[in-house]
Amino acid sequence: MRAYYFDDEPTDQRLPHDSGEEVSLDTLSHLGVLYWSIPVGEGDSIPAGVDAIAKERGYKNRDTINVSKEGLGDAYETKIKGFFEEHMHEDEEIRYILSGSGYFDVRKHAAKQDDERWIRVLCEQGDLLVLPSGIYHRFTLDMNNKIKAARLFQDEPKWIPHNRGVETDVNSHRVNYLSTLPPIAVA
């Protein structure tokens, strides 16, 4: 895993978009983003370390998603566009990368919306990433165009994106998320 500020250049979303400004695990943690590195088991099996975290955090269900042209078929282009729309979920988003790689972009909250920046998180095989309920984020593949991930869920599997907008800004999960963040220093 590697995290850095997104450069906002208007080029292919699958490129690194590396601003050269690294982001620490502490910064991600302050945003509620959690990370573990756990080597994948033989044959893409879920290792005991992931099972232990799942049990500790109350993740009862899981499935596997293969985000690639082969894995998504005719839905590929539509899904990739949808994943890259800025959105939030009312549940945590938990992904354990079995193979391939891609980028999760998380929005760093700021006092003014114009000052919010994207933090790009490169996830590769063995990375376990937890995005908190209510955080604005998006996902894209990198230039390899494929990622296989286990998705973990606290309850029944669901993935309902709420695209950013006036209604989403006041969604109770978004408001609760913002209340967990450290105060923002205003200059």
Task: Report pLDDT for 187.
Answer: 54
Q: What angle do CA 128, 31, 155 make, to 5 degrees?
A: 50
With H, G, I as helix, E, B as strand and everything else as coil, classify residue 109: coil
Return the H-helix or E-strand segment holding 63: strand 61-67
Return the H-helix or E-strand segment holding 139: strand 137-141
With H, G, I as helix, E, B as strand and everything else as coil, classify residue 121: strand
Tokens representing 7 are 């450069």
Query: Is residue 56 a known part of a binding site?
Result: no
Looking at this protein, which amino acid is placed at residue 128? L
Task: Report pLDDT for 41.
Answer: 86
Q: Determine contact, residues 31/109, Cβ cutoff 8 Å.
A: yes
Query: Is residue 173 a known part of a binding site?
Result: no
Q: Which residues of 112-139 are buried (b: 16+ CB within 10 A; e: fewer)?
A: eeeeebbbbbbbbbbbbbbbbbbbbbbb
Task: Report pLDDT for 43.
Answer: 82
Task: Report pLDDT for 45.
Answer: 85
100: left (phi over 0), alpha (psi -120 to 50) or beta: left
Task: Indicate the class that CATH gives domain 2-179.
Answer: mainly beta
Query: Is residue 87 a known part of a binding site?
Result: yes
> pLDDT in tens for each of the 187 residues of the chain?
999 999 999 999 999 999 999 999 999 999 999 999 999 988 878 999 999 999 999 999 999 999 999 999 999 999 999 999 999 999 999 999 999 999 999 999 877 777 899 999 999 999 999 999 999 999 999 999 999 999 999 888 777 899 999 999 999 999 999 999 988 765 5
Phi, psi (5° rounding) for residue 157?
-55, 125
Q: Cα dihedral angle (7, 184, 89, 100), rounded to 10 degrees?
A: 40
